[in-house]
Structure 1
Amino acid sequence: MVVPLVVGIDGSEASLEAVEWAADEALRHQVPLHLVHAAAAAPGEPDLVAAASERARKGAPAVQVSGEVLHDDAASALVGKGRNAFAVVVGSRGLGDLAGLLLGSVGLAVAAHADCPVVVVRGGVEHRHTRFGSVVVGVEEGEGSDTAVEFAFREAHVRRCRLVAVHAWSVPVGSPGPPGLSGYALQAQRRPPAEVLADALRDPAKQYQDVPVSSEVVEGPTRRALLNAASGADLLVVGARRRHGHVGLQLGLVNHAMLHHAPCPVVVVPRI
């Protein structure tokens, strides 16, 4: 059975923009689109599903669209649906969120607890409609970003665009080293940053040989490096480790910064 791409809807313009984005994504991956409207306080409104379905079919008439209304809080409903989904897609802000929140509480909760990749659809039209021809993925040292890198390669493959892999590094404050030794040389005494990036890309690059790859090793904060790269991207992909002994993912400072400030849609991919 083909698992669906699930989209949370609440009638807000942000959620309808998420529906449009998800319809295109479902078409690219040849998966069905499933719309979910959930409300804990009262039964959901079926008309919202019908309107969202119409908007999805208008942009991608070939996509198979279904929908349902659930009497449950939105975050729990979407996390539940995400257990058998290609990905869960949400808008950057919902009807019930305070105006000052950069990302809705539902979106943040889903990103932190879903078992599948979660997409928060952010940015203007130019970023939401693949006008840059670029997917950016953040690569960290260790195995925390391996599934994110694989996801990013697959996205670049189906979109027929280039992949920009970014690895940011910095020397910890107080690191000992000979006088006059550069920051890069100090870091290279541990493991060269370029090697970290090359190792992360090697295996998926063999699988997706048609994807052109640009590698960027940046000295400085990861948040700044990814936001700069995302300014010219259609999609930003970041990984998240699972929390040991707890349900959910470790959404660190970098993940939070991307979810709140990225200029394009963001995907949080949990490590398997």
Structure 2
Amino acid sequence: MASSILVGVDGSEESLIALDWAAEEAALRGSGLRLLYSAWVPALEPIFLPGSGPWDDHAQRVLQAAEERVRLTDPGVHVESSIGYHEPAAATLIHASHEASLIVVGLRGRGGFPGMKIGSVAYEVAAHATVPVVVVGPEPLAVTTVPKIVVGVDDSDHGRAALRAAFVEARLRSARVEAIHSVRVPPAIMSVAMLGGYDLESMRGERERLTHDALKPYRNEFPDVEVETRVEWDDATHALSRASAGAHLVVVGARGRHGFPFLALGSVAHGILHHAASPVMIVHIATTEDD
């Protein structure tokens, strides 16, 4: 059996949607599924021992209901569950992921600020985990007839890891890959190009060759996966967000070639987590193995 998929559950509706996604993924991969509930309450930690607090019964009920949900929808998936007592939820998930091939979390859980699009747990796990992280939002999946996996193309190490992860997912789901290379053209250059003073088509040809070269190793490795490519004159977050409509998944690297090295997530990964209409997979450099 492949290494397990780890999913955070807290009984919220969004965590149940994430659980359903994780169970389907586990069935496709032939992986086990590990459910993790964080019962860390720092203000009460000196009073109750782990497993004895008044919230422990609630945690057990949430996990039992989640296990039953998986067994009803995906009976072939092996399910285990555990409770984390000593750390915040994000740290518990990250530390528990050393034997996992993937972490799945809901976009938001219980608590937090209602005006925020993404919860702190989802963001921290996506930013700091060393395995791929799928963040699943509340929007119902309006998947196209032929499932598609959307992926951003650049020539960074994270970008290459994201490309391979996208092809792996496409093969699992008999889906096509929609690979998008985005170029943000400054308005001044776009204006000059419209007046005939700048050859955008020449730039497009160069970018199409870059995209072709970036995809070539994965097309060779996954010859049965259908691939559609395009170059867009737009910000990558906008282009990928538009393409996410009807997608099963959007895959991006945690960071691109540019940006501030001290930031855990690059601007595109950060933006797509807030704006995608589909689940988002964040891939780090260390997550290139096919599990």
- TM-score, normalisation: structure 1: 0.89
CA distance in 2, matches of 1:172, 1:237: 26
Equivalent-residue separation in structure 2 for 1:149 and 1:225 (angstroms): 16
Deviations 1:150-182 (A, max 9, x none): 00001000100111001101345777x998123
Q: Give me the whole-angstrom Cα distance separating, in 1, the residues matched to 2:245 and 2:261.
A: 36
The answer as to 2:200 corresponding to 1:183 is yes
1:80 paired with 2:91, answer no
Give the counterpart of 1:226 among 232, 240, 245. Answer: 240
Partner residue in 2 for 1:17: 17
Render the CA deviation track for 1:21-45: whole Å, top value 9, x for unaligned: 1000000111000000012206551
Q: Report the Cα distance in structure 1 between the residues aligned to 2:127 and 2:31, rounded to whole angstroms.
A: 24
Measure, in 2, the Cα distance between the counterparts of 1:63 and 1:97.
32
Cα distance in 1 between the residues matched to 2:108 and 2:30: 27
- Counterpart CA distance in 2 for 1:169 and 1:5 is 35
The separation in 2 between residues aligned to 1:2 and 1:162, in whole angstroms, is 24
Provide TM-score, normalisation by structure 2: 0.84
Which one of 120, 135, 141 corresponds to residue 120 of structure 1? Answer: 135
Q: Which runs of 5+ in 2 are unaligned?
A: 45-49, 51-55, 287-291
Alpha-carbon distance in structure 1 between the residues aligned to 2:225 and 2:176: 6
Please tell me the residue identity of whatever aligns with 1:150.
R
Alpha-carbon distance, 1:241 to partner: 3.6
CA contact (8 A) 1:161 1:212 kept: yes
Aligned-pair CA distance for 1:115: 0.3
Aligned 8 A contact 1:36 1:68 in 2: yes
Aligned residue in 2 for 1:253: 267
Letter in 2 for 1:16: L
CA distance in 1, matches of 2:188, 2:80: 56
Partner of 1:69: 83
Deviating beyond 2 angstroms after TM superposition, the runs of 4 or more aligned structure 1 residues are 123-127, 129-132, 141-144, 170-175, 182-185, 241-246
Is the partner of 1:81 in helix, strand or coil? helix
Q: CA RMSD in A?
A: 2.4
Q: Aligned-pair distance for 1:261?
A: 1.5
Distance 1:131 1:66 in 2: 33
Distance (Å, rounded) in 2 between the aligned partners of 1:36 and 1:30: 19
Matched, 1:26 2:26: yes
User: 2:111 is matched with which residue?
Assistant: 96
Aligned to 1:194: 208
TM-aligned CA deviation for residue 83 of structure 1: 2.4
Using a 3 Å threshold, how does the CA distance of structure 1 residues 55 and 137 change in structure 2: closer, same or farther? same
- Alignment match, 2:249: 235
Q: Does structure 2 retain, via aligned residues, the 8 Å contact 1:171–1:183?
A: no
Per-residue deviation at 1:183? 3.4
Q: Which runs of 5+ in 1 are unaligned?
A: none
C-alpha separation between the residues in 1 aligned to 2:182 and 2:82? 42
Q: Is the 8 A contact 2:141 2:246 kept in 1?
A: no
Higher gyration radius (CA): 2
Q: CA shift at 1:126, angstroms? A: 2.6
Match of 1:40 in 2: 40
Mapped partners of 1:181, 1:244: distance in 2: 30
One-letter amino acid of the counterpart of residue 37, structure 2? H
Secondary structure in structure 1 of the residue aligned to 2:230: strand
Shift in Å, 1:250:
3.5
Preserved CA contact (<8 Å) 1:156 1:163: yes
Deviation at 1:245, TM superposition (A): 8.2
Residue identity opposite 1:208 in structure 2: F
Aligned length: 265
Shift, 1:216, TM fit = 1.2
Aligned counterparts of 1:21 and 1:98: Cα–Cα separation in 2: 24
Instruction: Indicate conservation of the 8 Å contact 1:8/1:89, yes or no.
Output: yes
Question: What SS is found at the alignment partner of 1:36?
Answer: strand
Match for residue 289 of structure 2? none
